[in-house]
Amino acid sequence: MTPIRLAIVEDDPDIRALTHHFLGHQPEIECVIVADSIEDFLSQLPHALAPQVILLDIGLPGMNGVEALPIITARLPGVEILMHTVFEDPDHIYNALCRGAGGYVLKSTPLPQLKDAIGEVMQGGAPMSRAVARKVLAHFKPTPSTQPEILTDREKTILEALVTGRSDKQIAALYDLTPATVRTYVKRIYKKLQVTEGRTELLRRAGRGEL
């Protein structure tokens, strides 16, 4: 199995060292860049293997992590960005999701769970800490006046699971479905809600209260 190429962008030296030490010793992960700022990350980028996943802090010196999201995604199309931060207020969460973050986990997340989140975002999931998922769900409240029958009850259940960041495999296990059945439901949901960019768009729209 080819390791996931990971970049860590974190300004706190203790957290950076601890995270790098733990993740760098996992056989599933190869740390290709470790930086203390966006500027440092961008300066290392031309001389390193391109990361597939970036573990990105928000409160950085110079450009902050949310501001950097469109710059990073322009430089690295297809990269998955997992926010790793102490901020759990709605503004930071939704700004990050709207600018292209694929997941949002808090720094209180145990390191083994952080490793799992990296693998999940690489596989197309959208991992979130529970506190973050609750805030996203608070905005995921379709009003009765906006096409109440557009989704079936099962589709609404699947949609809620998608918005909280569960992968197809996790949803299948949760509701005793096959992954193929889940994928069929997801396609129907995307078609009905006119989602064209997959889970990233779904999370952006949920974050803005548009679902």
Query: Torsions phi, psi of 81, nearest 5?
Result: -115, 120
> Is this model's pTM higher than 0.85 or not?
no
More confident residue, 179 or 33: 33
pLDDT range class, residue 209, cuts 50, 70, 90:
low
Residue among 33, 56, 41, 190 at smallest CA distance from 121: 56
Q: Tell me the DSSP string of 101-130.
A: -SEEEETTS-HHHHHHHHHHHHTT---B-H
More confident residue, 169 or 40: 40
Q: Copy the structure tokens of residue 115.
A: 């490793």
pLDDT for residue 147:
42
Provide the percentage of residues in the chain whose pLDDT is more than 70: 88
Helix residue spans in 45-109 (DSSP H): 65-75, 90-98
Q: How confident is the model over 72-130, as pLDDT tens digits?
A: 999 999 899 999 999 888 778 888 888 889 889 999 999 999 999 999 899 888 888 87
Average pLDDT, integer, range 180-188: 90
pLDDT range class, residue 145, cuts 50, 70, 90:
very low
CA distance 167 to 162: 7
pLDDT for residue 144:
42
- For residue 20, pLDDT over 90 is answered with yes
From residue 52, alpha-carbon distances to 8, 85, 102 in Å are 11, 19, 12
Residue among 33, 34, 28 at smallest CA distance from 3: 28
Q: How confident is the model over 34-43, as pLDDT tens digits?
A: 999 999 999 9
Determine the topology of domain 4-135 in CATH: Rossmann fold (3.40.50)
pLDDT for residue 86:
92
pLDDT range class, residue 17, cuts 50, 70, 90:
very high
- Where do the domains of the chain lie? 4-135, 141-207
**In the predicted model, what is the mean pLDDT of the chain?**
86
- For residue 142, pLDDT over 60 is answered with no
**What's the CATH code, domain 141-207?**
1.10.10.10
